[in-house]
Amino acid sequence: MIAERPHRKVLVVDDEPLVRETLDYCLNDEYDITAAASGEEAIELSKQEDFPVVLLDLRMDGISGLETLRRLKQLHAMQNVVILTAYESTESAIEALNLGAYSYLTKPFRQNRLKEVISKGIQDYDQNTRRTREMQQRLMGVHDNFLSLLCHEFNTPLTSILGFSELLSEVDLDEEQKAWVHNIQNSGSHLHDILMEIVDYIGASHLASEGVKEDFTLRNVLSKAVAPLASRELVVRLEEDEMLDLRLRGASRSIQMIARKLVRIASHQSRNVLLQGNVEYMSDTEAQRLTVVVKNTGLIQGRSGISRIEQLFEPYFFRPTEESTGFSKSLGLELATCRRIAEYADGTVDCRIGLNKEIEFVATLLVDLID
């Protein structure tokens, strides 16, 4: 039953083994109890998961209870910390309340009273979490509507600029005038790419809110993803694998969007991109791990201004200036958008080092296998 109620987790923090064991004995029939023998251990545990309620002793060796409280609230602001204190340390308990403690109990306390405080703490945690999520969704809706309007308002004059510049390019111009037109076209194309990043971002959030899951094969999704990109100048090769034809169910449109964007990013530096798809069986869950890898990206660690992998996801990281266009496009914006799309679908996008220090893009999402 406990495993089905993840929000009934309680962290007990006390440096006395007898207290930890007693609280565990009294509470483990109703709550999933985790014990920490010090403030340091409690902080490390809270970095790994969120506990709706924490029972914290004020007087401990090492980091004090008050300092532990301060750090716990920094990690999880909505976490409800209940202070356990002796009669003579009531002043410290009041100080703890000023630091954001949820409540305090003086030792010795009645078991029924302890359970009442924990129960109310969990209820308040669930309520505050729900309200915060609803507020985030409302703000995201306003945010998306504004961005959609902005994209529309930008796109209309941008289309005119690109159209007129195309007409100008067909007129008899001298070399300097041709260069001006060329720069106008490249500037417009660059702005158009940025608008498409915003549109993809909005589309990903809408897909996530709809919770759309469709039946698909990896071969079909990846083929659709790269079809618009294939040209004489760009070759995209899909590596054969028996997993490509498995019947799956999941966020196929998100997978397709991510694959297309990653290949497009790679195509800026490479003209021969390799695409791999795989499905890994996981014994500990009903879902399967789907992985899409983009190789031959043309990006080399230690060169092209790339000193560390995570740098690629920084919004203001620009890949080298392209000689043909004179532009240095934001690689970080494109990859960060890919990662956000994956996160909306409960997945992730990362980079890894392949052969010859070439950087590879890796997208991972969970899917269901259809029998």
Whether residue 278 is predicted with pLDDT greater than 90 in this model: the reply is no
Element containing residue 248 per DSSP (H, E): strand 247-250
Strand pairing class (32-36; 53-57)? unpaired
- What per-residue confidence (pLDDT) applies to 288? 85
State the sign of the Cα–Cα–Cα–Cα dihedral 51, 57, 60, 63: positive
Q: What is the pLDDT of residues 120-140, one digit of tens each?
A: 899 888 888 887 776 666 655
Q: Which of these, 193, 187, 214, lies nearest to 337 by C-alpha position? A: 193
The two structure tokens encoding residue 68: 């532990």
CA 57 – CA 12 distance, rounded (Å):
8
51, 11 in Cβ contact below 8 A? yes
Report the alpha-carbon distance of residue 173 to residue 289 in Å, rounded: 56
Backbone angles phi, psi at 53, to 5 degrees: -130, 135
Number of H helices, E strands in the chain: 9, 12
**Residue 351 one-letter amino acid:** C
At 81-131, the pLDDT tens digits run 998 887 656 677 677 877 888 888 888 888 899 999 999 899 888 888 887
Give the three-state DSSP class for 320: coil
Among 302, 300, 291, smallest CA distance to 258 is for 291
Q: How many CB atoms lie within 10 A of CB 221?
A: 25
Question: Can you read off the two tokens belonging to residue 240?
Answer: 């054969």
Distance CA 53, CA 125 (A): 8
pLDDT digits (tens, 9 = 90+) for 255-267: 988 998 898 888 8
What span, in angstroms and rounded, lies between the C-alpha atoms of 41 and 47?
A: 10
What letter does residue 232 receive in the DSSP assignment?
A: S
Q: Model's pTM, two decimal places?
A: 0.52
pLDDT tens column, 191-216: 777 777 766 666 666 655 555 688 99
Q: Do residues 326 and 294 make contact, with C-beta atoms less than 8 angstroms apart?
A: no
What is the residue-averaged pLDDT of the chain? 79
Q: Are 326 and 260 in contact (CB under 8 A)?
A: no
Residues in Cβ contact with 118 at an 8 Å cutoff, skipping those fewer than 6 apart? 10, 27, 31, 53, 55, 82
Residue 72 contacts residue 42 (beta carbons within 8 Å): yes
- CA pair distance 29, 44, nearest whole angstrom: 25
Distance CA 191, CA 327 (A): 11
Model pLDDT, residue 6: 47
Q: Give me the half-sphere count of Cα atoms (radius 13 Å) on the Cβ side of residue 197.
A: 22
DSSP state, 12? Answer: E
Give the number of residues written for the chain. 371
Q: Which of 42-51, 68-77, 265-274 has the lowest mean pLDDT?
A: 265-274
Domain annotation for the chain: domains and CATH numbers: 2-109 (3.40.50.2300), 135-210 (1.10.287.130), 211-371 (3.30.565.10)
Distance CA 283, CA 285 (A): 6
Asked if the model's pLDDT at residue 282 lies above 60, the reply is: yes
